[in-house]
Amino acid sequence: MSHKDQSISIAAAHSGVLDGQQRLALALTAFGVLGLFVTIPMESIPGRIPWLLACLLLMSVGAAIYMRRSYLSRPAGIRNDGVWHSRLSARGAAAWVLAIVLTGFYVLLYFFPAQLGLGMDGEANRGIVALFDPLSRVLSGNAASQWFVYGALYTFAILAMGLKFILKHRHSRYQIIRTCSVMFFQLGFAFLIPELLQRLNYPYHNFANMWPLNYYFFDEWSVRGLLNSGGFGLFILFSGVAMIFLVSPLLTYFFGKRWFCSWVCGCGGLAETAGDPFRQLSDKSLRAWKVERWLIHSVLVFAIVMTAAVVWSYIGDGSGFFVTRGMLTGLLALVLGGLAVVALVRPGMLKELQPAVRWGLVGVLGTLVLVAVTAWIGGRSQLFFMEAYPLREWYGFLIGATFSGVIGVGFYPLMGSRVWCRFGCPMAAILGLQQRFFSRFRITTNGGQCISCGNCSTYCEMGIDVRSYAQRGENIVRASCVGCGLCASVCPRGVLKLENGKPSARLNNAPLSIGPTGVKLEL
């Protein structure tokens, strides 16, 4: 027996129930997506330009109607109603279907691009790649590749879902500005500028990206390509190196790693927009945190070793490069020496590490030093006694494609939107180490106002148990925090604030005392 009362319904419910308007909107979007994907097996597509435009228009209109109905029909505020009641956002059947479809798409994209219609050996494109040919010609002057198709869809997803995120969080200027920033960097720096560079016969380059996320930057073909592109190529090379050693440490010191991870980065951009409905799925357990730390730092070591080995293999006597093996060894020594100096200057930093981590660090550094020294003295052609190219291939296959692409996005609906950023990204690992020890960024806890409700932990996409700090009145300084600010947004009591301040006062392990007796709330 149902009692329907029509006098009230001012808004769509979100409790896993969609009203007619929302259903219609989703149907339009689905038709748009379907329109794109039915072209995959096609040899030739009738009227490519209107077809593509119709698909994009359907997806845009559908998304717009859905957002308007879902968010603008109610006052501005946190709207997570029904997140755990919906099969899509609560790891139900719809989530599994989506995960399989996404993963399948990524497998085709990375390993079987011909199946998507990429023309091999000079043949014309077919299928969905051909569908994007006209757009690619407008931008770069070339026919589309599978990467162009991917980049265009990726950008569309960030723009459309970014707008959705802005409407959902329109009461928070931090969220609006941050989302505009990721949309801007994706559209300009990651999509349009690299394409236009190619039109001008320069190497494809995303200025907002850097090594080690951009792991092929120091490959021989990449470096030679830049060196052969005159002054502008040199500019890209130097700006790329400056990003790594100067710009990124400075920005991270002042603002934390968020300047990159949730304001600039493309992976982060997708996670924060298209991945937002899945942020609550990140594992908050202690076990996950342990896995995260070993995994992400292993990938970082892998990336450093691989790059050093690759560079070592192509520079040397008579290779025509300005940098010699001696210089590279010197640079390695400088970096390691710098770390040693830091450890001497700030011994407190080492004390903050667990013994196991400390010894792991010492082991890794010792091995690196030993190997570098033996290679330098022995003059071997291989650094680390390894062939550089197989190493590079394995990295590209395991980390570059499988981890960051297939798992990183394919598993959104199952493990949350930041699987790659949290467990794999070597860039995030470097910035995280810096954020943990040398940064002004922290999340401040507001005295004793926490009610331990759990919204902050639930909506942390990085799986940080924010509540465990907040209920003790402790500030949060964690390597993995990307500073998206959602914990502070969803907090119903105004307990959390992202701040940049004096590094000395970051860790306030002196929670608010209650009353003159000094009973501390150290929960």
Site for other proteins in 85-144 (CB under 8 A): 85-86
Closer Cβ to other proteins, 369 or 453, answer by number: 453
29 close to 60: Cβ distance less than 8 angstroms? no
Binding segment (CB under 8 A) for other proteins, from list 41-49, 218-226, 230-238, 484-492 = 484-492
Residue corresponding to tokens 């190219």: 389
Longest dimension (CA), the chain: 86
Under the binding rule (CB under 8 A), the answer on residue 497 touching other proteins is yes
Using CB under 8 A, pick the residue from 121, 173, 348, 377 that binds other proteins. 173
The Cα–Cα gap between 479 and 420 comes to: 15
What residues between 190 and 219 interact with other proteins by CB under 8 A?
A: none
Burial class (CB in 10 A: 0-12, 13-18, 19+), 93: exposed
Closer Cβ to other proteins, 82 or 188, answer by number: 82
Burial class (CB in 10 A: 0-12, 13-18, 19+), 392: buried
Under the binding rule (CB under 8 A), the answer on residue 22 touching other proteins is no
Residue 446: CB minimum distance to other proteins, A: 5
Binding segment (CB under 8 A) for other proteins, from list 81-89, 153-161, 242-250, 297-305 = 81-89
Residue 492: CB minimum distance to other proteins, A: 4
Under the binding rule (CB under 8 A), the answer on residue 453 touching other proteins is yes
307 close to 315: Cβ distance less than 8 angstroms? no
What residues between 41 and 80 interact with other proteins by CB under 8 A?
A: 74-78, 80
What residues between 378 and 417 interact with other proteins by CB under 8 A?
A: none
Would you list the DSSP string of 184-212?
A: HIIIIIIIIHHHHHHHTTPPP--TT--TT
Closer Cβ to other proteins, 86 or 248, answer by number: 86
Closer Cβ to other proteins, 106 or 255, answer by number: 255
Task: Please give the helix or strand (H or E) that residue 335 lies within, else none.
Answer: helix 325-345
Under the binding rule (CB under 8 A), the answer on residue 499 touching other proteins is yes
Instruction: Name 498's bridge partners.
Output: 443
Closer Cβ to other proteins, 160 or 490, answer by number: 490
Using CB under 8 A, pick the residue from 30, 84, 246, 250 that binds other proteins. 84
Under the binding rule (CB under 8 A), the answer on residue 20 touching other proteins is no
Q: What count of other Cβ atoms lies within 10 Å of the Cβ of residue 337? A: 12
Would you list the DSSP string of 83-118?
A: TTTSTTTTT-HHHHHHHHHHHHHHHHHHH-HHHHTP
Closer Cβ to other proteins, 18 or 428, answer by number: 18
Under the binding rule (CB under 8 A), the answer on residue 82 touching other proteins is yes
Closer Cβ to other proteins, 6 or 228, answer by number: 6
Under the binding rule (CB under 8 A), the answer on residue 181 touching other proteins is no
Using CB under 8 A, pick the residue from 447, 501, 505, 507 that binds other proteins. 447
204 close to 214: Cβ distance less than 8 angstroms? no
34 close to 54: Cβ distance less than 8 angstroms? no
